[in-house]
Amino acid sequence: MNLTLNYTIREVKSKIDILTIVEESPIQLRKRGRNFIGLCPFHSEKTASFSVNPQKNIFKCFGCGVSGDQINLYARLNGIKNGQAIFRLAKRIGLAQTKLTKEQKLEVISQQEDRELEKRFLKKCNEMFYFFCDLRDYMRERAGTYKTIDCLEKDSLLICYYHDRALLEDLLNGLLAGLRDEIDIEKQISYFYAAKGVVERWKNLLKNYPPSESTA
């Protein structure tokens, strides 16, 4: 995606929210909590399954599965492609330029770099998560009883190695707390969230993670 298109999409999203798109359509919504719900315009239904989140500017139908942002919604409602939707919405806000200024280019590049850093961070978090799962199983195999877990924590070279580097120490502490207290898997997951605000999908990863082979 080129810089001009990136900039255009960002400007469209910042100046036209999803409720504006909804208000221009036949969609009838009612407020439920933070969201708005109504009958889906993309398939026939009697029970409202179409949900709009105005804070995040996204929509999702839990009946047919369609989802997206305000640009995707505009495109679907008008039977056009996303590229055409971007062009029409850009014209609406008076964005007809074909070239960016130097300042605009620098701003878009900075945003792209931020997104790349976020992706790298999430990748590292996933790598460390799998390491800690292996470490958890390693400790279970060698602890004998949960009462010896504190001694094992102090003696393990692996733990010392990663503690020295301060890599997600809170997450490790959450795992150790779960082991010490002999709690079930769901409560272990709650330790993850409390310790480091781990992303939601880690819950399923932890549930499905297979026991590691002994690594004496």
- Candidates 112, 134, 120, 133; CA nearest to 203 is 133
- What's the pLDDT at 101? 63
Could you tell me which residues come within 8 angstroms of residue 41 by beta carbon, excluding any fewer than 6 positions away?
A: 25, 26, 27, 50, 77
Alpha-carbon span 206 to 169, nearest angstrom: 18
- What's the pLDDT at 72? 94
Cβ atoms of 85 and 78 within 8 Å: the answer is yes
Residue 155 has pLDDT above 50, yes or no: no
Percentage of the chain modeled with pLDDT above 90: 26
Residue 109's pLDDT band (boundaries 50, 70, 90)? low
Of 22 and 150, the structure prediction assigns the larger pLDDT to 22
Q: What's 182's DSSP letter?
A: T
Mean pLDDT for the stretch of residues 203-214: 42
Percentage of the chain modeled with pLDDT above 70: 42
Domains detected in the chain:
9-93 (3.90.580.10), 102-208 (no CATH)
